[in-house]
Structure 1
Amino acid sequence: MYSLILSLMVVVCVLLIIVVAMQPSKTNAANLTGGAEQLFGKQKARGFEAFLIRVTVVLGTIFMLLAFALAYISSK
Structure 2
Amino acid sequence: MLKPDKHTNPVLSTVNIAGLIIEQIRNDEIVSYDDLLSNLVNQTSESVKDVFLYSLSFLYLLDKIEYIPDLDALRLRI
- Between Structure 1 and Structure 2, the one with more strand by share is 2
Note whether the superposition's TM-score is higher than 0.5.
no
TM-score relative to the length of structure 1: 0.29
TM-score relative to the length of structure 2: 0.28
> Taking CA–CA contacts closer than 8 Å with sequence separation of 6 or more, which of the two structures ends up with the larger relative contact order?
1
